[in-house]
């Protein structure tokens, strides 16, 4: 897919990967870039930088997403590329109990990391089917293919996000709808900077800039690849996991021990 001439929506666009995507799509010739975020001021700041439009939207709220998509399609035009990029992470309060995150944290992570993709599809699939196609880009994480040491909520919801992207791609392939999932490891964003371990294992293979991730996205969309892996080593790890699941779990447990001991 070439974004030139397309209307592109990016959620989680106030900063980080979302802002870098908005800026890169603008440079690639998108007809209009819509920046959405719970942080309305940040979304509008990104929009100003790309001559686009900024919206406030809580992507974990189905009604807000439906209203937001209606507004975009009515006021601006048909969405050609929907980038569900917003995401959150939470770490267990009790490091000795991986199930210790409270219910409200699980619910919030599920809402942002999984249901946001569902709500975007719910609002846009009928429209895309009617006009013969469209494209979804879901920012997930390498954690969706591998895991996230120290965060059951993140690892679990990112795996679920991969599952939804797969079934979306399978079900609507014949409708002309394409799907890509963006699965980076360490990226120089606030999420990485504020993590308790400074990124932990996710940064072990190098930390990319948000702009480097946006470069990988443009290349991945151009090739219409389902998996977009800014860190190519992730594919090797994923193959190792599939080739010997038990050995992979043992290796991940060893990795956890090394980071718990201060690396």
Strand pairing category for 79-84 and 53-56: unpaired
Element (H, E) at 10: strand 7-11
Residue 106 CB partners (closer than 8 Å, separation 6+): 153
What letter would DSSP give residue 231?
A: S
| Alpha-carbon Rg for the chain in angstroms | 18
The rounded distance, in Å, linking the Cα atoms of 123 and 110 is 18
Token pair belonging to 50: 């790309």
Nearest residue to 134 via CA among 125, 143, 142: 125
**Residue numbers annotated as active site:** 154
On the CB side of 253, how many CA atoms lie within 13 Å of its CA? 6
């Amino acid at each position: 897919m070439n974004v030139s001439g397309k209307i592109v929506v990016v959620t989680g666009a106030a900063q980080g990967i979302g802002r870098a995507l908005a800026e890169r799509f603008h440079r690639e010739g998108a007809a209009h870039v819509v920046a959405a975020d719970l942080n309305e001021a940040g979304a509008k700041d990104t929009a100003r930088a790309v001559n686009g439009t900024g919206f406030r939207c809580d992507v974990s709220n189905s009604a807000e997403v439906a209203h937001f998509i209606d507004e975009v399609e009515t006021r601006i035009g048909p969405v050609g590329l929907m980038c569900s990029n917003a995401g959150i992470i939470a770490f267990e309060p009790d490091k000795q109990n991986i199930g210790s995150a409270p219910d409200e944290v699980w619910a919030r992570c599920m809402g942002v990391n999984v249901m946001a993709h569902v709500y975007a599809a719910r609002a846009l699939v009928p429209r895309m089917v009617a006009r013969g196609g469209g494209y979804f880009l879901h920012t997930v994480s390498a954690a969706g293919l591998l895991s996230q040491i120290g965060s059951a909520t993140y690892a679990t919801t990112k795996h679920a996000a991969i599952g939804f992207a797969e079934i979306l791609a399978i079900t609507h392939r014949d409708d002309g709808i394409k799907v890509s999932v963006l699965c980076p490891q360490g990226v120089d964003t606030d999420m990485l900077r504020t993590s308790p371990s400074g990124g932990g294992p996710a940064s072990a293979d190098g930390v990319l800039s948000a702009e480097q991730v946006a470069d990988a996205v443009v290349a991945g969309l151009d090739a219409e690849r389902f998996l977009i892996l800014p860190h190519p080593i992730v594919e090797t790890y994923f193959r190792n996991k599939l080739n010997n699941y038990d050995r992979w779990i043992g290796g991940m447990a060893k990795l956890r021990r090394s980071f718990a001991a201060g690396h």
